[in-house]
Structure 1
Amino acid sequence: MLKINDLVKVYPTGDRALDGVSTTIGGNSIVAMIGPSGAGKSTFVRCINRLVEPTSGQVWLDDVEITSLSKNGLRRERRNMGMVFQEYGLVERLTVMENVLSGRLGYTGFWKSFRRKYPKEDIQKAYATLDRVGMLEMADKRVDELSGGQRQRVGIARAVLQTPKLLLVDEPTSSLDPETSRKVMELLTEIAREDDIPVLINIHEVNLAEQFADRILGLSDGGLVFEGSTDELDESVKNKIYRSDNSQDQDDISNDKTVVDESTEIESNVEL
């Protein structure tokens, strides 16, 4: 169970990305967060695992308060929060298998991982996970040889290999064609049901949110303006969510301030 209480994020520039957001996510539900560019969606997802440090508020995963953890405590708890990044967050010079196994960094430690000394059971599970996402035959290929959809599947496999309690997904379909986007959403839905974990997805495509999500969170100007089932997402609600057109994209501000390169993404999410 993920609980968010009055989450606020204000940057030193004065930009207010989140304005007291509260919600609860649990079970094996697919929860889609929608809203205009600059609404604070990426900031919200990244505040949960503290890739972005919230200004105030609380984040709880089961009985652990994420927002009060020390650096070492956060490293351990991030193992329970799988993250799938918009730009994949993969190391392109490494193989598919090496990228997927990086999902076990939080358990094996840096030096064993650096020397490729993963436990046999982790390697076996990695192969099984690649098979699950339809990428087993690509295990030995370098990531820079893959298409966008294939890279996203590798990123999903890496997150699943953490055996998380929660899966956070930031714009998984933004760079993909419609058919590949649908397949990625189908895969995320299967993972939620089969692994019995909640999946929180920040997504721009409202039609995909309506098709695959169990619940919708509507964010506008940093505030939660709608929370309900997909059946409740009628035109009046959509107009309420998308009523403003921000000139300053707070999500881009978040990305610029917290992510320097792909390797930083991986290390931040599965710190040793």
Structure 2
Amino acid sequence: MLRTENLGKTYATGDEALKDVSVEIGGREVVAMIGPSGAGKSTFVRCINRLTEPTAGTVTLDGTELTALGKKELRNARRDIGMVFQEYNLVERLTVMENVLSGRLGYVSTWKAFRRNFSQKDVQRAYDLLELVGLDDMENKRVDELSGGQRQRVGIARAVIQEPKIILADEPTSSLDPETSRDVMRLLTDIAVDRNIPVLINIHEVHLAEQYADRILGLHDGNLVFDGRTAELTGDAKDVIYRDEGMPEAPAAETAADTASTTDKPTDPVPVEE
């Protein structure tokens, strides 16, 4: 269970990015955080694992108060938090397999990490995850040879191999085309269900949040202004979240695809991207 209580972030400029945000996320739910640009969505996600240091409030994961940990303790605690980044955050000169296995670095000694000496169990787990994300037989490719969608799948596999207690995804679809974005969202939701891991996704595309998330968090100007099931995200609720900012609209082709789909989260296998 992830719990934030009165989480706040004020920058040195005096700008308040977050204001007393309190939420609980657990089980295997997929939670999408939406809101206009500058609402504090990325700041919230990054404050959870202290890539950005909060200035107020607490973050607790399964009874461990992350905001109270020193550097060494925080390093160990971060093994329990899988992170999927907007710009992938991969080592492009390394292979797909090496990037996935980097998710196990927190579990091996410094010497083994330097030599990239991982156990056979970890290697087999990496092969299994590459098959799961649709990248089997690509383990020896360098990451800089992959498409954006394939790189994002490597990032997801790297997060899952940590065996985390929660996965945080910071705008995982913002650099992808509509079809690949749906593939990535489907993959994240399937992982949440199959592995019983809650997933928190900071996402700009509201239509994808509505299609794939179980629950929606709405931020506006650093304030949590909506917290409810996806079906409760009415037009009035969207107006509260976006107000004068204007809600981003789905591309026409994407809208048609969403209309044709069911309201249930898809469970069909993720196709391999050509």
TM-score (norm 1): 0.89
* TM-fit CA distance, 1:136: 1.4
Deviations 1:211-250 (A, max 9, x none): 000000000000000000111101111011001449xxxx
Residue in structure 2 matched with residue 84 of structure 1 by the alignment? 84
**SS across alignment from 2:100:** helix
Aligned partners of 1:220 and 1:244 also within 8 Å: no
* TM-fit CA distance, 1:6: 0.2
Residue in structure 2 matched with residue 265 of structure 1 by the alignment? none
Residue in structure 1 matched with residue 133 of structure 2 by the alignment? 133
Greater RCO, 1 or 2 (C-alpha within 8 Å, sep 6+):
1
The 2-side partners of 1:158 and 1:64 are apart by 23
Residue 7 in structure 1 maps to residue 43 in structure 2 = no
Paired residue type of 2:109? G
Residue in structure 2 matched with residue 34 of structure 1 by the alignment? 34
* TM-fit CA distance, 1:110: 3.1
Residue in structure 2 matched with residue 206 of structure 1 by the alignment? 206
Q: How does 1:166-185 map to 2 (within 5 A)?
A: 166-185=166-185
Q: How does 1:5-154 map to 2 (within 5 A)?
A: 5-154=5-154
Q: Give the CA RMSD over aligned residues.
A: 1.0
Cα 1:18–1:244, aligned 2, differ >3 Å: closer, same or farther?
farther
Residue in structure 2 matched with residue 195 of structure 1 by the alignment? 195
Task: Give the unaligned 5+ runs of structure 1.
Answer: 247-272
* TM-fit CA distance, 1:143: 0.3
Q: How does 1:260-271 map to 2 (within 5 A)?
A: none
Paired residue type of 2:53? E
Deviations 1:108-145 (A, max 9, x none): 13321221211111111111111111111211000000
The 2-side partners of 1:244 and 1:219 are apart by 14
The 2-side partners of 1:221 and 1:109 are apart by 43
Residue in structure 1 matched with residue 267 of structure 2 by the alignment? none
Deviations 1:137-165 (A, max 9, x none): 21100000000000000000000000000
**SS across alignment from 1:102:** helix
The 1-side partners of 2:118 and 2:30 are apart by 32
Aligned partners of 1:6 and 1:21 also within 8 Å: yes
Paired residue type of 1:120? Q
The 2-side partners of 1:110 and 1:86 are apart by 28
The 1-side partners of 2:109 and 2:50 are apart by 20
* TM-fit CA distance, 1:15: 1.2
Aligned partners of 1:96 and 1:139 also within 8 Å: yes
Paired residue type of 1:136? D
Task: Give the unaligned 5+ runs of structure 2.
Answer: 247-274
Aligned partners of 1:5 and 1:21 also within 8 Å: yes
Residue 228 in structure 1 maps to residue 228 in structure 2 = yes
Q: Percent identity?
A: 68
**SS across alignment from 1:136:** coil
The 2-side partners of 1:86 and 1:110 are apart by 28
